Amino acid sequence: MSERKCPYCNEHVPSYSLTCPKCYRNIPREEENVKESTMSNSVSKSVTNKTVILLLAFIPSAFGLMGLGQIYEREYKKGLTFLVVGLFLFATLVMLINSLSHVNGGWSFLVIGATILVSLVFVGTYLLQAFDALVRSLFVVN
């Protein structure tokens, strides 16, 4: 049988013993060490997943690619809905901003108003999908 040392008094302890024969303290078992390392790995994976979700929810969404955080979380219906709406709003916004330089007269006021309106809807959708990803990643246990 293999022997090990007590972490408290450095006495040799048989592998089947739960306590030290000299100081009578509980000896940590190897199974607990394996369990602790497995738990720390799962916690680090959870933190990594939350970081990826938040990065996907914030960075690409500024360019119309909304819903990637939800798709990463396997919420496909919600993620694809945000993606289609985000791309539509982004394309519309780019088209309106591009047309501002080509419109003359009274129509420019209408195009400016539409640009402001679409911008507000885009920002609202961006914040909604980012908040959804943030709340899901913080409060849903993996």
Q: Per-residue confidence of the chain (142 residues) as pLDDT tens digits?
A: 567 888 889 888 888 888 888 998 888 876 544 444 455 555 555 556 788 888 888 889 889 999 988 888 888 898 899 999 999 999 999 999 998 888 877 788 888 999 999 999 999 999 999 888 888 755 554 4
**HEC states along 99-118?**
HCCCCCCCHHHHHHHHHHHH
**If you write DSSP's letter for every residue of 123-136 in order, what string do you get?**
HHHHHHHHHHHHHH
| Residue 94: per-residue pLDDT | 93
Q: What's at 81, amino acid-wise?
A: T
Nearest CA among 57, 74, 75 for reference residue 66: 57
The per-residue pLDDT for 142 is 44
